[in-house]
Structure 1
Amino acid sequence: MTPREATLALLAARAEGATVCPSEAARAVAGPGGDWREAMPQIHAAVDAMLADGLIRLSWKGRPLTARTGPYRIRRAGGG
C-alpha cells in the first residue's frame, strides 16, 4: 500500500470530520513488524502532495494549518 492509499483508506474508514495521525498511515505502510518510523518521510511527502491537490486539510489541536509543520493531524478536505 502506498502512503497516499494508506492515508486515504484511514480517512475513508473514519467519520466525516475525524482526523488521523500520520503515524497511523506509516504503520499501515510499514505493515506488521515493520519499522513505521522509517516510513514517515514517505508519509510526509504524500501528505504534502495531497495537501497541494486539495484532498486533505491539516490541523493541530483543532487549529487549521496551511502547511505541514511540527505535529499535525490529517482530515478529508470536505470534512467538518
Structure 2
Amino acid sequence: MSNELSPGTIETAVLATLEKRADGASICPSEVARALFPDDETRWRAVMPQVRAVAAAMARSGRLRISRHGVTLSPDQLGDGPIRLHRGKAP
C-alpha cells in the first residue's frame, strides 16, 4: 500500500488541524500525519517528508509560517530538526 498522498490532501489536513487551534497556536507536522493515518504509526511516519514538503510549499506562498524554537525559518532551509506550523498571512 502506497503512502503517497496528493499535496491537496495534505494541505487540507494541515489547514483542518490548524483550524482546531487558537489563532496564535502552532502545530507539529506529525499532528497532520497522525490525522491522516490515525491507526497506523508506520504510515504516518512514512508520510512525514511529504507533510514537510507541502508545508514548505504553503510557506512559500504565504499560507503558512514555519518556525523552530520561535524563529521563523525559510521554507527552503528547514533541515531535519523539529518545526512548528503557524497560520500564514495569505488566504
- Give TM class, smaller chain: 0.7 to 0.9
| Matching residue of 1:25 | 32
Unaligned runs of 5+ in 2: none
Displacement of 1:31 in angstroms is: 2.9
Correspondence for 1:55: 63
Q: Which residue of 2 aligns with 1:8?
A: 15
Runs (5+) with no aligned partner, structure 1 = none
Greater RCO structure (CA 8 Å; 6+ sep):
1
- Please give the alpha-carbon distance, in whole angstroms, between the structure 1 residues aligned to 2:57 and 2:70: 22
Q: Once superposed, what is the RMSD of the aligned Cα atoms? A: 1.6
Segments of 4+ moved more than 6 angstroms: none
Over the matched positions of the two proteins, sequence identity in percent amounts to 42
How many residues are matched?
Answer: 78
Is 1:73 aligned to 2:73, yes or no? no
Relative to the length of structure 2, the TM-score reads: 0.75
Higher alpha-carbon Rg: 2
- Tell me how far apart the structure 1 counterparts of residues 53 and 70 of structure 2 sit (CA, whole Å): 22
Q: TM-score, normalised by structure 1?
A: 0.84
